[in-house]
Structure 1
Amino acid sequence: MRVKDIMSSPVYTVLQTASVESAAKVLTARSVTALPVLDTTGRLVGMVGEGDLLWHRVPADPTAHIQRLLDTDPESRPGMVVEVMSAYPITTRPEADVADVAGAMLDNDIRSIPVLEDGTVVGIISRRDILRAMVRGDDVLTAEVQHRLDEYGDGHRWTVIVEGGVAHVSGTFDDETEQGIVVVLARTVPGVAAVDVGAAGPVGG
């Protein structure tokens, strides 16, 4: 399965010069947990998430408000996104394997990764996107793969049964090229881990 199959696009972004409050409003209004941060040219410069915003707005020490009253500069807390964002974010590509992205998320303890194509943010993929794709039932996957193959074959030329995320395709193929196309079509369905076309054996996604 590829990132482009399950990423969210278009993606909500925020400028690095935007206020922390405006970024918080976007997160809340759009029900997302993180936003890619762009400079004025549209280049990705960071990521800002709920944790970044809360870290500078909600004190861990319940007596911190007393200290703030004693501070000589009560307005010193960060005001712009660039001051709280995480710079140099991990990124991925539309054609990347979702399994690799999931591994990067776990290794780096991050919940979402921006998707770049030619230096432009074209989407974002989150743990929620991956989980949603993985937990779909075999019956739903069977129907989706069957539909794609029926459209390609202009009729019911192949029969699909998905078991445990593996799509088993039965039927005959005109040649290896056609078989390859069927495998690719089946693999593009989010949640399909591998494709079995009989003698050719399972092909991983």
Structure 2
Amino acid sequence: MNAADVMSSPAVSVNPGTTVRAASAMLGDHGFSALPVVDDEGRLVGIVSGADLLLAGMSPETANSPVARVMRGSVISAPVTATPAELTATMLSQRLRCLPIVAEGQVLVGVVSRSDLLRILTPVDAVLGARVEAALRAYSGGPRWTVSVREGEVSVSGPFSDQAERKVVEALVRTVPGVRGTQLAS
């Protein structure tokens, strides 16, 4: 497994002429911590983070200025062949929230975030179980049932008020993306 298997691609990026206002809107809309800055050939030339944009301020003059004025030109990136361990080590040692992934010639091909790395460390069934538990807690106001998951098959056990509640719980569990089947036990 390498960066190509972990990264989000294609990467959302801006060019040096993108306005600070537009870059700020993209960060907000996508929930990213930073945006790679690429030239017309797609080569990585910088990065602009939310912190960079906040430090620049949002005066009318700054909002319409190009990202090139506030971006950092010195960018830490990783090759598409980097292993998850190498990506993690780089991100932790450099205190990065995202890491641009480049191919030959510094061409941006993707971005790896902390959540991308966490996803490969967390078994799919564990993630699915946490999502089902969250949905059930939202419904019941607290933890009432025990959830277990094996290969997408969800088992919910615990007390049910009546048959109607069993049906509601079963329907709720089935709304969670990734659930392949449900089983309820009292």
Q: TM-score range by the shorter chain?
A: 0.5 to 0.7
1:133 aligns with 2:128: no
Residue of structure 2 equivalent to 1:92: 78
Give the match's secondary structure for 1:11: coil
Residue of structure 1 equivalent to 2:65: 79
Point out where structure 1 has 5 or more consecutive residues left out of the alignment.
59-67, 69-73, 141-205
Q: 2:92 aligns with which of 81, 88, 106?
A: 106
Deviation of 1:138 after TM superposition, in Å, equals 6.7
Residue of structure 2 equivalent to 1:48: 48
What is the CA–CA distance in structure 2 between the aligned matches of 1:122 and 1:12, rounded to whole Å?
10
| Superposition CA RMSD, Å | 2.5
Deviation of 1:40 after TM superposition, in Å, equals 2.9
**Deviation per CA, 1:97-141, whole angstroms, max 9, x where unpaired?**
11111111111111111111122111110111101221225789x
After alignment, is 7-16 or 124-133 more displaced?
124-133
**Deviation per CA, 1:46-88, whole angstroms, max 9, x where unpaired?**
0111111112227xxxxxxxxx9xxxxx947882211111112
Q: Which runs of 4+ in 1 moved over 4 A?
A: 74-78, 137-140
Give the match's secondary structure for 1:14: coil
What is the CA–CA distance in structure 2 between the aligned matches of 1:42 and 1:32, rounded to whole Å?
19
Give the match's secondary structure for 1:10: coil
Does the aligned pair in 2 maintain the 1:114–1:121 contact within 8 Å?
yes
**Deviation per CA, 1:34-53, whole angstroms, max 9, x where unpaired?**
11101233321101111111
- Number of residues of Structure 1 aligned to a counterpart in Structure 2: 126
Q: Measured at CA, do residues 46 and 76 of structure 1 come closer, stay the same or move farther in structure 2, by a change above 3 Å?
A: closer
Superposition TM-score, scaled by structure 2 size: 0.60
Give the match's secondary structure for 2:79: coil
Give the match's secondary structure for 1:116: strand
Structure 1 counterpart of 2:18, one-letter code: A
Structure 2 counterpart of 1:110, one-letter code: L
Give the match's secondary structure for 1:15: coil
What is the CA–CA distance in structure 1 between the aligned matches of 2:49 and 2:35, rounded to whole Å?
6
Q: Measured at CA, do residues 39 and 16 of structure 1 come closer, stay the same or move farther in structure 2, by a change above 3 Å?
A: same
Q: Measured at CA, do residues 90 and 45 of structure 1 come closer, stay the same or move farther in structure 2, by a change above 3 Å?
A: same
Structure 2 counterpart of 1:41, one-letter code: E
Does the aligned pair in 1 maintain the 2:21–2:63 contact within 8 Å?
no
Structure 1 counterpart of 2:33, one-letter code: T
**Deviation per CA, 1:133-170, whole angstroms, max 9, x where unpaired?**
21225789xxxxxxxxxxxxxxxxxxxxxxxxxxxxxx
**Deviation per CA, 1:159-188, whole angstroms, max 9, x where unpaired?**
xxxxxxxxxxxxxxxxxxxxxxxxxxxxxx
Does the aligned pair in 2 maintain the 1:91–1:114 contact within 8 Å?
yes
Does the aligned pair in 1 maintain the 2:20–2:62 contact within 8 Å?
no
What is the CA–CA distance in structure 2 between the aligned matches of 1:129 and 1:137, rounded to whole Å?
13
Superposition TM-score, scaled by structure 1 size: 0.55
